[in-house]
Amino acid sequence: MEGLGKKLEQLREESGLNQKEVSAKLGYSKNVFGTYEREERTPSIETLIHIADFFSVSIDSMVRGIATNKSMVAKEPPYHPLHELQRIFNDHNIKDPYILEIEKWSELTTEDLHDLQKHFEYVVYRRRQEKEA
Domains of the chain, by residue range, sit at 4-95, 101-133
- List, for residues 7-34, the tens digit of each pLDDT value: 899 888 988 889 888 888 888 887 888 9
Q: Which of 107, 14, 3 is nearest to 55 (CA)?
A: 14
| Average pLDDT over the chain, rounded to an integer | 82
Give domain 4-95's CATH superfamily: lambda repressor-like DNA-binding domains (1.10.260.40)
Q: Is 129's pLDDT higher than 80?
A: yes
Q: Is 69's pLDDT higher than 50?
A: no
Report the C-alpha gap between 31 and 20 in whole angstroms.
6
Tally the C-alpha atoms within 13 A of residue 59's C-alpha that lie toward its C-beta. Answer: 9
